[in-house]
Amino acid sequence: MTLFRRSVVPLLFLLCLSSCSPGKESGAVAPTLPTASITLGGRRIQVECATTREARERGLRFRSLLGADQGMLFCWADDALRAFSMRETVIPLSVAFCKADGTVIEIRSCRPLDKEGPSSGDKFRYALALTDGWFAEHDVRAGAKIEWGPEVTALRPEGEGPLRIDLQVAGHSVVTEVVYTEKARETGLMNRDALDAEAGMLFVYAKDRPLSFWMKDTRLPIAIAFLSEAGVIDEIRKMKPYDLTRINARKPARFALEVNADWFDRHQVNVGDAVTLPQQVLGLPADP
């Protein structure tokens, strides 16, 4: 399946489903993509999500099978007019063009190997590709709404900014940037010149683990709280700018919250207080 953004250089899209044999192109195995569970027409659908240009450029080319309730979700950071091609794609497909909130704008059929596939009549944010006839079989039409799971709402398609949430810490609100990939966690608050008084950064891991932080290339005085899987503050430590001394959590933690050095003192937040962790955070596909 190939996608063209109208009046722009063509982009080629392929999603590789883990339940099917991996397709090969020039001997390369298709990369593993993040998975998500969504609901449409009363059915749970397992999809792999293409959020980067590289992932979207792989589409469903060279695949021979697709499960009954499995598909692929193409994700972008913006709404735009786009068109698909079925170049080198042999599976008959149907694609639903969707708004950011999951509303289906239109549904089109895609013929195998058709270089001039369907285009959207309206701007869309997502495209859901399933086996041809799936939407008709389950009486899903334009206007239906997909229920995105937490895995989809947590996705940050290429070009989109970081995930930010309003985190409640012992009843106090913190506008929090959430980092959950190894690369983003390693960067943290490095090289930033300021942090708003009521802002912070939440480091998310897949499970409780020993955590260690330092202040390499970090210009701001920081306070860090290590949180249990339940969101309870187990420990609060102060960290000095550029200090390369390792701050090790005294026991395994799943989350760490960094705020300005005086934040916990100003709000009288202490060890044992609770942080309310929304499902959006708990469902993140965090790196170990």
User: Rounded CA gap, 220 and 189, in Å?
Assistant: 8
Rg of the chain in Å (alpha carbons): 22
Q: How many degrees, rounded to 5, is the angle at CA 122 between CA 117 and CA 124? A: 85
CB 181 within 8 Å of CB 194: no
Domains and CATH numbers, the chain: 2-152 (2.60.120.1140), 163-282 (2.60.120.1140)
CB 96 within 8 Å of CB 133: no
Task: Report the sign of the C-alpha dihedral through residues 128, 163, 233, 249, in that order.
Answer: positive
User: Rounded CA gap, 129 and 148, in Å?
Assistant: 15
User: How would residue 116 be classed by pLDDT, with cut points 50, 70 and 90?
Assistant: low
| Predicted TM-score of the model (pTM) | 0.53
Mean pLDDT of the chain: 85
CB 205 within 8 Å of CB 257: no
CB 13 within 8 Å of CB 59: yes
Greatest mean pLDDT range, 17-21, 152-156, 175-179? 175-179
The model's pLDDT over 33-55, given as tens digits with 9 standing for 90+, comes to 899 999 999 999 999 998 887 77
CB 96 within 8 Å of CB 14: no
User: Rounded CA gap, 233 and 129, in Å?
Assistant: 43
Q: Residue 242: what residue type?
A: Y
The model's pLDDT over 96-114, given as tens digits with 9 standing for 90+, comes to 999 999 999 999 998 888 8
pLDDT at 158 exceeding the cut of 90: no
